């Protein structure tokens, strides 16, 4: 599942995964899990992160490969935050059974809508969970909700420009495929979820 910051990608990925009984595989989550379990790639990732550098393709690809080999991912999975580079996309193709199509859904939202959403977004000061702006407290742990430091309007616009520049090659990589679909993310969560389900069904012949 592709989409810029504020498109609701994480929410929709979690919703879709839960409704289908498959895991949502988020690179952020599995990086933290790999570090916590002390796997080979987790140790390598920790060294890189502790030095303040970005984790490179080789480590990220290795961690994703480890995660997708686990039993709960054998009947399907939703990828959130991976791939982020063409090298990662090529590696993902090599990991998967070519007889089973990789369905790519890109959630498209205008920049102005994204800026408005991210400016209103709040996270829990205790557990870091993102919450709707109308919620008074975190629904997960009850903690206080605060703005994210990187959700300042100017910072948000720069993040969106960086995302567009970095992600366009991935979209271009997948767009020619018959399994690529775009959905309008400037709708209610329920409408976006329905469009994603319809997009997946259109690729899988009605089988989800």
Tell me the catalytic residues: 9, 84, 121, 148, 159
Query: Is there a contact between 142 and 180 (Cβ–Cβ < 8 Å)?
Result: no
3-state secondary structure of 61: helix
Which class for 157: exposed (0-12), middle (13-18), buried (19 or more C-beta within 10 A)? middle
* Cα 13-46-28 angle, rounded to 5 deg: 10
DSSP output for 106-124: EEE--HHHHHHHHHH-EEE
> What count of other Cβ atoms lies within 10 Å of the Cβ of residue 197?
17
Query: Is there a contact between 79 and 16 (Cβ–Cβ < 8 Å)?
Result: no
Closest by alpha carbon to 80, among 41, 22, 38?
22
Give residue for tokens 């193709």: 93
């Amino acid at each position: 599942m592709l989409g810029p910051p504020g498109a609701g990608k994480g929410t929709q990925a979690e919703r879709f995964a839960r409704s289908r009984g498959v895991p949502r595989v988020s690179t952020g989550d599995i990086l933290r899990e790999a570090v916590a379990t002390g796997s080979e790639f987790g140790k390598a990732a920790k060294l890189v992160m502790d030095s303040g550098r970005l984790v490179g393709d080789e480590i990220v690809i290795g961690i994703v490969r480890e995660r997708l080999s686990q039993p709960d991912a054998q009947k399907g999975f939703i990828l959130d935050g991976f791939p982020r580079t063409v090298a990662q996309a090529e590696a993902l193709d090599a990991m998967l059974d070519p007889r089973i199509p990789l369905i790519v859904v890109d959630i498209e939202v205008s920049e102005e809508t994204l800026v408005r959403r991210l400016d209103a977004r709040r996270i829990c000061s205790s557990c870091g969970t993102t919450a709707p702006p109308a919620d008074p407290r975190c629904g997960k742990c009850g903690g206080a909700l605060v703005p994210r430091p990187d959700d300042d309007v100017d910072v948000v616009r720069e993040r969106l420009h960086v995302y567009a520049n970095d992600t366009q090659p991935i979209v271009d990589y997948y767009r020619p495929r018959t399994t690529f679909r775009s959905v309008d993310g400037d709708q209610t969560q329920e409408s976006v979820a329905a469009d994603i389900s319809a997009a997946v069904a259109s690729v899988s012949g009605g089988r989800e």
